[in-house]
Amino acid sequence: MTDALQEIHQFLPCRTPQRWIENALDNQDLMLIDHAHCEKKAASTALSLMYRYVDNSDLLNKMSRLAREELRHFEQVLAIMKKRGVQYRHLTPARYAAGLREPVRGDDPGRLVDVLIVGAIIEARSCERFAALAPFLDDALADFYRSLLKSEARHYQDYLALAELANGGPVAERVAQFLAIEQQLVETPDAEFRFHSGPLL
Ligand SMILES: [Fe+2]
Ligand SMILES: [Fe+2]
């Protein structure tokens, strides 16, 4: 296991439940469709931060690079879907992102700190799930997911570093509050399967 993945396992409050892995294997087309949405959303979140915080050059540089990488991932998922005859379509919003964003403060600098923490958590969970799924996937998808987990681990670190910078110091206490919610979202039964859902009801 890579050091980066080990760090992510230590950061996250829990591992993905085995039941979710089974759900994912039973719903691989849906998993790919939602994965494509996640990559696109990740790029769009980075871009919206770039619009809002134009005076933060660290953030502008990191988010610009991140947005490009996420769009590249998006293109890679689309290519895999095309090869497998999976049609891209709209999906209802997942509870995960909405649930995680609920405690985000309304005013800056708290808002920025919180949005960056949420970004770090989503990247960390994505990385953990790619690693958890890889051993059960066909070779092509397993190779792709192993390649992605490296960049998502880096994105997690970038988001966390930017959160500390925005906060002017450690964010561990605030992170712990968000992680408690994250654990609920990952472990409690979910009505719909998504890349970041809980196990199906
Ligand atoms: Fe990505
Ligand atoms: Fe990412």
CA of 148 to the centre of ligand 1 (A): 7
pLDDT for position 78? 98
pLDDT tens track, the chain, 201 positions: 678 999 999 999 999 999 999 999 999 999 999 999 999 999 999 999 999 999 999 999 999 999 999 999 999 999 999 999 999 999 998 899 999 999 999 999 999 999 999 999 999 999 999 999 999 999 999 999 999 999 999 999 999 999 999 999 999 999 999 999 999 999 999 999 999 999 998
pLDDT for position 1? 65
Q: Do residues 118 and 96 lie in contact, with contact meaning Cβ atoms separated by under 8 Å?
A: no
Query: How far apart are alpha carbons 111 and 141 in whole angstroms?
Result: 36
pLDDT for position 93? 87
pLDDT for position 2? 79
pLDDT for position 11? 98
Ligand with smallest separation from the Cα of 46: 2
CA of 44 to the centre of ligand 1 (A): 11
Q: Do residues 198 and 189 lie in contact, with contact meaning Cβ atoms separated by under 8 Å?
A: yes
Burial 42-65 (b: 16+ CB within 10 A, else e): bbebbbebbeebeebeebeebbee
CA of 152 to the centre of ligand 1 (A): 6
Alpha-carbon distance values, 168 to 116, 140, 160, 162, 171 (Å)? 13, 43, 12, 10, 9
Q: What is the number of other CB atoms lying within 10 angstroms of the CB of residue 143?
A: 12
Ligand with smallest separation from the Cα of 65: 2
CA of 144 to the centre of ligand 1 (A): 11
Neighbours of ion ligand 2 (CB under 5 A): 42, 123, 152, 155
Task: Tell me the H-state helices in the chain.
Answer: 3-11, 18-26, 28-52, 57-83, 95-101, 110-133, 139-167, 172-187
pLDDT for position 87? 98
pLDDT for position 16? 98
Tell me, yes or no, if the pTM score tops 0.85.
yes
Provide Rg for the chain, Cα atoms: 16
CA of 191 to the centre of ligand 1 (A): 25
CA of 79 to the centre of ligand 1 (A): 15
Ligand with smallest separation from the Cα of 38: 1
Q: What's 201's DSSP letter? A: -
CA of 191 to the centre of ligand 2 (A): 25
